[in-house]
Amino acid sequence: MPDRLTLIAPDDWHVHLRDDTMLARVIPHTARSFARAIVMPNLRPPITSVDAAMAYRKRIQAACPDGLTFEPLMTAYLTDHIAPEELEQGFADGVFTAAKLYPANATTNSAAGVTSLDGIDAVFTCMARIGMPLLIHGEVTDADVDVFDREAVFIERHLRPLRERHPELRIVLEHITTEQAVDFVGSADRNLAATITPHHLQINRNAMFLGGLRSDFYCLPVIKRERHRLALRRAATSGDARFFLGTDSAPHPREGKETSCGCAGIFNAPYAIESYAQVFDDEGALDQLEGFASRHGPAFYGLPVNSHEITLERVPVEVPDRIDGLVPFHAGEHLPWRVVRDL
Ligand code: NCD
Ligand code: ZN
């Protein structure tokens, strides 16, 4: 077994960098490990215009520590009323890399999301025409659908019909959590991919209830049973280019997590690549890590792979209990691989 592993520098195809003081706290962690990242637009207010995205991109660049080269790739937040022209303009200008679809009220800051997919069909037609990727939070919000079934139901009720109606639309099903999603994405002939988070690969839903109610493991889509975790691990480590890295690192202040109605989101940015490395190692698939982390994402987005490399070494690293007041994923644990910094 190798003790060192050099990879093309990875990218994070799904991250929440937030804004203001939280942005300043979290950006170093993403920028240290990832060359580029797809930045989610669910701020308050959400990023719904080219101007707002340019201004947010500037704030991210300004908050990025000196000496780190990091490229934020911006996304537009789809609403019931967003104009296709705004997307087309932003995409043509290189401001918007993609657009994000949040079903209204599916997750954090999604109240302004889309209430009916049919209602924005003109947006999908435009995006398909110009080749702009659609990133989907794939969950229904119907109160009568069990929270653990919301992804699988979304696929049948909404994603399958959307794909049939717009086969040219390039779609990423974000942070997949179920074997139904793995099967659906894995059977698509083209124009469909999925991101997978470290936490959905590492833990199953028991983690949320281990010895009490553990809000640090609460995220959306909610973590599922073991069968699904194993399906995700097989997909991620298979070498199939339709699956790639997206951490969904989603920090919330402590008071947002430790309350009677805790926020959804896991802050995994500081040790995300180390966490993925452990998964691939455990699956005997370290040779597939570079594809998942560094090649499949750029291939889908039509971007070049990064020109520099990172090296991981098999030296245990201890994850602190707190980082800047936030609880990181794997808090208090040891991970077997670490990134060699400052080679
Ligand atoms: C994300 C957040 O907090 O912005 N939360 C989460 O649990 N993943 C939103 C999202 O991606 O659903
Ligand atoms: Zn997210």
Q: Which of 16, 101, 247 to mutate to test the pocket of ligand 1 (most atoms within 8 A of CB)?
A: 16
Mean pLDDT of 270-286: 98
Give ligand 1 pocket residues (Cβ under 6 A). 16, 42, 107-108, 137, 219-220, 248, 250, 264-265
Is residue 216 part of the annotated active site? The answer reads no
CA–CA separation, 197 vs 244, rounded Å? Answer: 9
Residue entry with tokens 């037609």: 125
**Which atom of ligand 1 is the closest one to the Cα of 175?**
11
Domain ranges (residues) in the chain: 4-341
**Which atom of ligand 1 is the closest one to the Cα of 16?**
4
289-310: per-residue pLDDT in tens?
Answer: 999 999 999 999 999 999 999 9
**Which atom of ligand 1 is the closest one to the Cα of 251?**
3
74-111: per-residue pLDDT in tens?
Answer: 999 999 999 999 999 999 999 999 999 999 999 999 99
Four-point Cα dihedral 149, 150, 155, 159, nearest 10 = 170
Please determine, for residue 171, whether its predicted confidence score (pLDDT) is greater than 80. yes
Check if the beta carbon of residue 215 is closer than 8 Å to that of residue 262. Answer: yes
Strand, coil or helix: 6: strand
Identify the DSSP state of 96. Answer: E
Q: What is the pLDDT of residue 66?
A: 94
How are beta strands 96-101 and 71-77 bridged, if at all?
parallel
Q: Which of 100, 141, 219 to mutate to test the pocket of ligand 1 (most atoms within 8 A of CB)?
A: 219
Check if the beta carbon of residue 48 is closer than 8 Å to that of residue 82. Answer: yes
Residues with Cβ within 8 Å of 79's Cβ and at least 6 positions away in sequence, in order, are 46, 48, 112, 113, 114
Q: At 93, which amino acid appears? A: D
The active-site residue, picked from 11, 12, 216, 248, is 248
Q: What is the pLDDT of residue 205?
A: 98
Under CATH, what is the fold of the domain 4-341?
TIM Barrel (3.20.20)
CA–CA separation, 151 vs 138, rounded Å? Answer: 6
Ligand 1 centroid–CA 219 distance in Å is 6
Ligand 2 centroid–CA 50 distance in Å is 20
Mean pLDDT of 226-240: 99
Q: What is the pLDDT of residue 342?
A: 66
Q: What is the pLDDT of residue 155?
A: 98
Check if the beta carbon of residue 53 is closer than 8 Å to that of residue 93. Answer: no
CA–CA separation, 124 vs 161, rounded Å? Answer: 13
Ligand 2 centroid–CA 238 distance in Å is 23
